[in-house]
Every structure is written in structure tokens, then in C-alpha cells.
Chains A and B, each alone.
Chain A
Amino acid sequence: MNWYGIWAIYRYEMARFFRTLGQSLVSPVISTVLYFVVFGAAIGSRIQDVSGVSYGAFIVPGLIMLSLLTQSISNASFGIYFPRFSGTIYEYLAAPVSALEMVLGFVGAAATKSIFIGLVILATSAFFVPFHVAHPLWMALFLLLTAITFSLFGFIIGLWADGFEKLQIIPLLIMTPLTFLGGSFYPISILPPFWHTVSLFNPVVYLVSGFRWSFNEVADVHVGVSLAMTLFFLGLCLAIVQWMFNTGYRLKN
């Protein structure tokens, strides 16, 4: 293993994040605050408890997931797309760095950033609603797995995109509906049967459900199923990245 190489990539990516720390944090925090004001305080006060949990506390895990997903994807896709765009990728390709090491550096940094943001949002939430975390280890596990999985997904988008439009269109076109329909703001059991079934094809449902379970043991599906689906999606992304590097897809052809 080229540990120095991994560290170099990771540190470079993190340096970019810390240079713009204010910007990186301000927008997710502001949007979370807005969600709390609108859904938690304004509308939430008129909504009855969900399975014995106040609506405000119910949406906390969903909101964190929402930021975690969008941040992971945008950080990781930009992280690898930008060197491709500017040409500095040549150095990574010419260096004795394996595909796995590149992934560890780039995806590791993107996941670190989004976990950092997720924790900041968790702290922000505490100002708005009282909540407690029933299973902190499970929470940390889901946070970690989700950040890694979606950073990998973002990495794939960053390798695939051949323009800035494509870089933005996936989060916009696919992730926004998936997250909004993923049970961040409601339990999917309140949906009509047809949409309930459709929702089960949405990977985000499993993430949000498992994550929420770790907070207050309210879940749409069993936590074991959540974990299995998350790991499945992680494996799928890893396989795609491996294939991309093996074939030199959009990098070396």
C-alpha cells in the first residue's frame, strides 16, 4: 500500500474543504434551520406524534440523511471531476497509486466532510427539538456507511460526467426525488399501498429508516434489512468503481 499517496490525496482534498469551511457549512446549516422552522415549528405543531415521537424529533434523522446524501455526492463528484476537467489528473494516473488507494483518498475525504457536516446539523437540531439517540453505535455506523456509499456514488458520477451539467443533473434529477420520497419527512406506511411498494425500491428509504431507528426505534423496515440494503448498495458502487478503473473508463482511453 502507498500510504503516503493516500494521505497526500486525502489531505489535499481536506485542505480544500477547510479553506472554504464557512461556505461548506453555511448552506446545509441554513437549509436545516429552515426545514425546522417550516416543518418542525410551523407545520409540525399541527401534526400529531408519529409512533409516540414528536414530529420535530421524527424529522431530525431524515434531515441529517438528506444533507449527508447531497453533501457526499457533491463533494465526491466534484473532487474527482475537477482534476479531470483541469488536467491535473495526469499526476494521479502517472503516480504509483492503485485504484483502491485513489478511492480511499478521494472518497475518504468526501465522506469525512459529509460526516462532519452531518454532525454539525445534529448539533444544530438540538437547538430546535429535544431528541435523544437510543443506539449511538448504530447511528455512527449508519452515518459512516451512508457517507461512504454515497461518496462512492458521487465518485462514479464524477468519473462518468463529461461536463459540469451532468455533474449537477444527477443530484437534481435522481437524488432530490429519491430523498424526498425516501421517508425523510413521513413514515412510508402512511402512503397508499401502491406507493408504499414503490418506495421499497428506493434505497434511501432503508438508510433513513435504519438511521431513524438508531435514534428512537421508529422504523419503516427492520434495522437488519436497512443494514443489508446499505451494504448491498455499497458493494454495488465498489464494483462499478473497480470496473471503471480496470477498463480505464473515461480516464485512459
Chain B
Amino acid sequence: MPSIISIRGVSKTYASGLTALKSVNLDIHQGEILALLGPNGAGKTTLISIVCGIVNKSTGSVLVDGHDNVSDYRITRRLIGLVPQELHLSIFEKVWDTVRFSRQLYGKPHDDAYLEKILKQLSLWEKKDAKIMTLSGGMKRRVLIAKALAHEPRILFLDEPSAGVDVELRQDMWRVVRALRDTGVTIILTTHYIEEAEDLADRVGVINKGELILVEDKHALMDKLGQKQLTLELLKPLAKLPRKLAAYGLELAAQGKELVYRYDARNARHSMAEVLQALSAAKIAFGDLRTEQSTLEDIFMGLVKR
């Protein structure tokens, strides 16, 4: 897949001396939804800000659609729309005026029909003449999205779009995001909600302490997620696994005191009942059993704690 954004060796040390990013490499594919996960202070916003031109990087390069984001900033910035993490809005302005302002700032001629369409999609049309200060937090978030879309970007960054947003608005927002993706817009979002990444993303990246520690296809991650493990505590330890049971993919563990069966929850080779029948046929008795399932959350926490 062609990459629309190519980040090479990007690091950032702020004027305060704090190193927020350490040599990040990342390719973002054309038309995908990429979710960036990471704990507070991991460097997600810093990375996004560098790509968008809000923060100067210390080292490395960023190519957007093949253009350098510093020397060809006019081309690259026109391709990108940004919804910032914080609700940065001119509160005395009206919704319609601020959205029009955004489009103009990006050097695009008026297209009120297009802006009307966006506002309607985001259920903001009724509020178009309201002053921003009179809107709720969730509404302000929508205004930010409308502003980011006002110049018809091909790439959209959403920095924690679901912070402070109720379930209904989140559904609305994801509907819009999917519709955008269907028109070929590449979407990069950061989130603390792992289910959100699971739900929406094609790929998932994990940032921790300024390092990108994982970028993987969501389905590959889901396969890891789908791994389940059945552990049987045996009454009498086994020295060796009977050959018949080995055929089921069973393994001995804990010095023969436990039998472990690892399987894919969605398409196990053998049903649980088959495995248990085989055990009783082999006259192996067990005192207790437990099942474990690794979640994306476990994977995530495991990665981040290192």
C-alpha cells in the first residue's frame, strides 16, 4: 500500500530540555484509519503537531504525499486537517463565521454549499448562528471537526476526539469518520479507549515514552487477542504427556502438575468437550480448571510497562 505520510527518525526535545520523541519511524498508508494509543505524556500530540507544522522537530524528516513538510509546507498543510486535543476556539465568534474563516485561511475560495453539508453531517446546522461560547463541550468538539474539514483535507488528524464526548456523539463522530474514509480520506486518531481503536482502526500504533513500540494490523492484533488458554490442575502430576493427548495440542506445565491447552477462541481445532473427553478416556483426573484470555488491554499494558 502506498504511504501518504512517511515519518523518518523524528525526534523532539522541547526548549525546556524535555525529550518528548525519540527517533520515531512510521508510515501511514493512504486511505487507512490509524489509531495511536499511548499513556498520558507519551508524545502522541507532539508527533501530530510536528506533522502538522505546529511544532518544529529536532531531527528527522516528514514526507506528506511525497513532499517535505517544512520546505513544501504549502502543499503538505493543504492536504492536512487537524482536530486538536484541547477545545481551542474563539469563543465570541459564531459557528458559521469560524468555519468559513478556516476555509479561507487555507487559501480556498468560498463554498458555502460544502460548508453547509459538513455542518449538517455534524448536526451543527441548527447552531450555525450561535456564538461558540454558548455551546456545550461536545458541540465545541464538533465545531473543531467542522473547521478541520472546511478546506477539504485528504488527511485528517483527530487528537483524542472522544475526550469528554458522550456515547451518542461518539457514534455520530465515528459515522462521519467512516464516511470520510469511504471517500478516501486517511485518518489518524489518538485515543485512550482501546475498544475505540478495535472498533474503528485498520491499524494500531502504540507510543510510550516517546517511542513507537508497535504498529500492527488490527486483525493481527485481534488474533493475539483471540488467544485463549485452558489450564487444568492435575490431581497427580504427570511425568510425560500421553501421546494421544499430545495430538490435541495439549502441553504439560508447572513440572507436570498442570495441563495447558492453548486455542483460538473463534476457531478452535477441537472443542472443549472433545478435549475433556480425551482426558477422561486417558483416565487423567483434574482438581480445578481455569481459562484465561489476553485482551488488547493486556498487550497494551504489557508493552507500556516495560
Interface residue ranges, A against B (CB under 8 Å): 2-5, 7-9, 12, 19, 86-88, 90-98, 248, 252-253
Chain B proximity of A134: nearest CB distance (Å): 42
Asked if A92 and B56 sit within 8 Å, CB to CB, the answer is: no
* In the complex, residue of chain B having the shortest beta-carbon distance to the beta carbon of A87: B88
CB neighbours (8 Å) of B109 from chain A are 4
Return the contact of B88 from the options A8, A12, A90 (Cβ within 8 A): A90
Known: A90-B82, A94-B53. 11 other contacts (CB 8 A): A4-B109, A12-B101, A87-B86, A90-B88, A91-B102, A92-B105, A93-B52, A97-B105, A248-B56, A252-B56, A253-B56
* In the complex, residue of chain A having the shortest beta-carbon distance to the beta carbon of B84: A90
If the complex has contacts A248-B56, A252-B56, are A95 and B106 also in contact, measured as CB distance less than 8 A?
A: yes
Asked if B105 and A253 sit within 8 Å, CB to CB, the answer is: no
- What DSSP secondary structure best describes chain B's contact surface? loop
Bound Cα distance from A213 to B29, whole angstroms: 66
CB neighbours (8 Å) of B82 from chain A are 90, 94
Chain A proximity of B241: nearest CB distance (Å): 61
B window 88-105: CB within 8 A of A? 88-90, 92, 101-102, 104-105
> With an 8 A cutoff between CB atoms, is B278 at the interface?
no
Q: What would 13 A/B residue contacts be, using CB atoms closer than 8 Å?
A: A5-B104, A86-B90, A91-B88, A92-B105, A94-B80, A94-B82, A95-B77, A95-B105, A95-B106, A96-B78, A96-B106, A248-B56, A252-B56
CB neighbours (8 Å) of B80 from chain A are 94
Asked if A5 and B86 sit within 8 Å, CB to CB, the answer is: no
Asked if A4 and B107 sit within 8 Å, CB to CB, the answer is: yes
Chain B proximity of A198: nearest CB distance (Å): 37
> With an 8 A cutoff between CB atoms, is B55 at the interface?
yes
Residue with the greatest number of chain A CB neighbours at <10 A, chosen from B52, B89, B107, B108: B107
Bound Cα distance from A212 to B33, whole angstroms: 65
Bound Cα distance from A87 to B54, whole angstroms: 11
Asked if A93 and B105 sit within 8 Å, CB to CB, the answer is: no
CB neighbours (8 Å) of A3 from chain B are 107
Bound Cα distance from A92 to B107, whole angstroms: 12
Chain A proximity of B16: nearest CB distance (Å): 9
B window 37-92: CB within 8 A of A? 52-56, 73-75, 77-78, 80, 82, 84, 86, 88-90, 92
Interface residue ranges, B against A (CB under 8 Å): 14-15, 52-56, 73-75, 77-78, 80, 82, 84, 86, 88-90, 92, 101-102, 104-109, 147
Bound Cα distance from A94 to B14, whole angstroms: 18
CB neighbours (8 Å) of B89 from chain A are 88
Return the contact of B54 from the options A9, A86, A93 (Cβ within 8 A): A93
Return the contact of A91 from the options B15, B108, B147 (Cβ within 8 A): B147
Chain A proximity of B78: nearest CB distance (Å): 5
* In the complex, residue of chain B having the shortest beta-carbon distance to the beta carbon of A93: B54
CB neighbours (8 Å) of A248 from chain B are 56
Asked if B53 and A93 sit within 8 Å, CB to CB, the answer is: yes
Bound Cα distance from A95 to B84, whole angstroms: 13
Chain B proximity of A144: nearest CB distance (Å): 26
Asked if A94 and B52 sit within 8 Å, CB to CB, the answer is: yes
Bound Cα distance from A3 to B108, whole angstroms: 10
If the complex has contacts A90-B54, A252-B54, are A8 and B104 also in contact, measured as CB distance less than 8 A?
A: yes
CB neighbours (8 Å) of A94 from chain B are 52-54, 77, 80, 82
Asked if B84 and A96 sit within 8 Å, CB to CB, the answer is: no
Bound Cα distance from A14 to B14, whole angstroms: 34
Chain B proximity of A78: nearest CB distance (Å): 14
Asked if B74 and A2 sit within 8 Å, CB to CB, the answer is: yes
